[in-house]
Amino acid sequence: MKSFLIVMLLALASVFMVNQAAFDGSLELRQISDSFFVVGIFMFFIGLIGTTGAGSIFRGFSYTFKSVFKRRTVAKSYFEDSQQKVARMSKEVSIAIMVFGIAFIVVALIIT
């Protein structure tokens, strides 16, 4: 429940920021709809990546980047680094992001 509230507040703040940046804070329905749609599309795909576990594709890139460019790293294997990231993942937040993404896309289509 707490994650849904946090995601909702961040999503609404993102809609406000997109509206301010792209449309100079215009309150016309078309611009508000476009702001909801842009934020909704990004949220949906980020939530989809997190929910399906497709983010594991990027683990190899991050491990390589860390092992090459960090100066003082504890010599961890790729497996240990991967297991540590799996322990931190939360499907609940990913589902919340995807649900609000879908909701924002629907709101954008209704407003239009």
**Is residue 26 located within the same domain as residue 36?**
yes
Instruction: Specify the 3-state DSSP secondary structure of 12.
Output: helix
**Is residue 64 located within the same domain as residue 46?**
no
**Is residue 48 located within the same domain as residue 1?**
yes
Residues 37-90 have pLDDT tens digits of: 999 999 999 999 988 887 777 777 777 777 777 766 566 776 777 777 665 667
**Is residue 46 located within the same domain as residue 98?**
yes
- Reduced 3-state DSSP string for 25-84: CCCCHHHHHHHHHHHHHHHHHHHHHHHHCHHHHHHHHHHHHHHHHCCCCCCCCHHHHHHH
Quick one: tokens of 41? 């599309």
**Is residue 59 located within the same domain as residue 46?**
no
| pLDDT number for residue 89 | 61
**Is residue 33 located within the same domain as residue 70?**
no
- Distance, in Å, from the CA atom of 79 to the CA atom of 75, rounded to the nearest integer, reads 12
- Cβ-contact 93, 50 below 8 angstroms: yes
Amino acid at 81: D
**Measured at the alpha carbon of residue 22, what is the angle toward residues 95 and 98, in degrees to the nearest 5?**
5
**Is residue 4 located within the same domain as residue 39?**
yes
| pLDDT number for residue 87 | 58
**Is residue 49 located within the same domain as residue 60?**
no
Per the structure, the count of domains in the chain is: 2
* Domain housing 97: 1-53+91-112
**Is residue 4 located within the same domain as residue 42?**
yes
**Is residue 28 located within the same domain as residue 78?**
no
- Distance, in Å, from the CA atom of 3 to the CA atom of 106, rounded to the nearest integer, reads 21
| pLDDT number for residue 105 | 97
Residues 3-36 have pLDDT tens digits of: 889 999 999 999 999 999 999 988 899 999 999 9
| pLDDT number for residue 106 | 97
**Is residue 3 located within the same domain as residue 49?**
yes
Instruction: Specify the 3-state DSSP secondary structure of 112.
Output: coil
| pLDDT number for residue 69 | 77
Band of pLDDT at residue 100, cut at 50, 70 and 90:
very high
**Is residue 78 located within the same domain as residue 95?**
no
